[in-house]
Amino acid sequence: MSLPSVDIHYGDNLDVMVGMSDSSFDLIYVDPPFNTGKAQQRQSIRVVQDTEGDRVGFQDKKYRTLKLGSMSYADVFDDYLSFLEPRFLEAYRMLKPEGSFFVHIDYREVHYVKVLLDLIFGRQCFMNEIIWAYDYGARSKSKWSTKHDTILWYAKTPDRYTFNYEEVDRIPYMAPGLVGREKASRGKAPTDVWWHTIVPTNSKERTGYPTQKPFGVLKRLVLAHSKPEDRALDFFAGSGTLGDVCAYCGRHSVLIDNSKAAVSVMWKRLRKYNPSLKGIAEEDLDPVHLDTDPGEVDGDSPERHAGDQGRLF
Ligand SMILES: C[S@@+](CC[C@H](N)C(=O)[O-])C[C@H]1O[C@@H](n2cnc3c(N)ncnc32)[C@H](O)[C@@H]1O
């Protein structure tokens, strides 16, 4: 098997993607930023006559401006979806017919994004809503604590896609005593609810990039949904978790991010795979210290990727 390639691009993902070929990726995974679309503050106003007012109008009458409320809430959503839509259309174009698209998204956005993806792919191409459940941080006393993200899976062709059931790791039975020793030691297949801790602060896989996703979650996804030497794309790549997983699993990857901090982190994180760098010169990247730096990565140890609590259930 050839050494997996890792191509890192610095730039706006839309600009980079428009130059890429149709049907060129087997798997696309993205974890977009949380609703950063700029809200257009469409403040509606009404002007009323007022002797103390700050506006002077017809016949020198004074007027005061009343602010009637802001439309910004709706606009945030509109802007977010119109930010995502052209990028998702490019993703659709670049997926191979048997390829799969995964969108990792916050519980507040997922329903809007699902409707958008149904329009782009067709509802029949929606395969699964994977829930990544974690158990970290304080509990709310006023509502159910929110401890999950959603990963939506769309297949470009719903009856022809990669799903390597045998490659999927097994998880322990909840009541192993009920199933017999052999079954209990083999474990059971996971469902669409995946339990995995967030990247722990003291773990070896932690890069320090704030929104880094766990290696273990993406490893299950990559092993199940691609084959060795397949090509994967992450166009909101952050710290480069997808690239790290792909290289570890023998898949080629292309990573795009428009943040110099992100590209600097992923360049350092992935340098052992000899990545290519486009859109910025290496000497212009920020200096980065990774939490993995002390004692540094000697080859590629599963321990580094698993972290202390990085088990999937
Ligand atoms: C939630 S983070 C991804 C984290 C990543 N999954 C990881 O494990 O580290 C989203 C990333 O999208 C990047 N981003 C936002 N808008 C972008 C754009 N228009 N083009 C490229 N990257 C963008 C941000 O810089 C950020 O690094």
SS3 sequence of the chain: CCCCCEEEEECCHHHHHCCCCCCCEEEEEECCCCCCCCCCCCEEEEEEECCCCCEECHHHCEEEEEEEEECHHHHHHHHHHHHHHHHHHHHHHHEEEEEEEEEEECCCCHHHHHHHHHHHHCHHHEEEEEEEECCCCCCCCCCCCCCEEEEEEEECCCCCCCCCHHHCCCECCCCHHHCCHHHHHHCECCCCEEECCCCCCCCCCCCCCCCCCCHHHHHHHHHHHCCCCCEEEECCCCCCHHHHHHHHCCCEEEEEECCHHHHHHHHHHCHHHCCEEECCCHHHCCCCCCCCCCCCCCCCCHHHHHCCCCCCC
pLDDT for res 71: 43
Report if residue 61 sits inside a domain.
no
- Cα 236 to ligand 1 centroid, rounded to whole Å: 4
Beta-strand pair 95-105/25-30: parallel
What are the pocket residues of ligand 1 if the criterion is a CB atom closer than 6 Å to any ligand atom?
12-13, 31, 33, 209, 211-213, 236, 238-239, 241, 256-259, 262
pLDDT for res 37: 46
Report if residue 290 sits inside a domain.
yes
Report if residue 23 sits inside a domain.
yes
Candidate of 196, 236, 239 to mutate for ligand 1, largest count of ligand atoms within 8 Å of Cβ: 236
Could you tell me the pLDDT band of residue 1, with boundaries at 50, 70 and 90?
low
Considering only residues 29 and 295, tell me which one the structure prediction assigns the higher pLDDT.
29
Report if residue 312 sits inside a domain.
no
Could you tell me the pLDDT band of residue 137, with boundaries at 50, 70 and 90?
confident
Residue found by looking up tokens 């360049």 in the block:
267
Nearest-atom index, ligand 1, CA of 32: 10
What are φ and ψ of residue 141, in 5° steps? -100, 0
Lowest average pLDDT, out of 72-76, 125-129, 186-190, 267-271, goes to: 72-76
Nearest-atom index, ligand 1, CA of 238: 27
Predicted confidence (pLDDT) at residue 307 exceeds the cutoff of 70: no
Lowest average pLDDT, out of 89-93, 171-175, 187-191, 250-254, goes to: 171-175
Could you tell me the pLDDT band of residue 43, with boundaries at 50, 70 and 90?
very low
CATH of the domain at 233: 3.40.50.150
Domain of 204 in residue numbering reads as: 6-36+73-306
Nearest CA among 229, 97, 247, 149 for reference residue 255:
247
- Cα 82 to ligand 1 centroid, rounded to whole Å: 17
Nearest CA among 93, 88, 104, 97 for reference residue 34:
104
For atom 17 of ligand 1, the residue with the nearest CA is: 258
- Cα 189 to ligand 1 centroid, rounded to whole Å: 31
Nearest-atom index, ligand 1, CA of 104: 6
Global pTM value: 0.85
pLDDT for res 79: 86
For atom 13 of ligand 1, the residue with the nearest CA is: 236
Q: Total domain count for the chain?
A: 1
What are φ and ψ of residue 62, in 5° steps? -95, 145
Report if residue 228 sits inside a domain.
yes
Report if residue 60 sits inside a domain.
no
Report if residue 51 sits inside a domain.
no
- Cα 237 to ligand 1 centroid, rounded to whole Å: 5
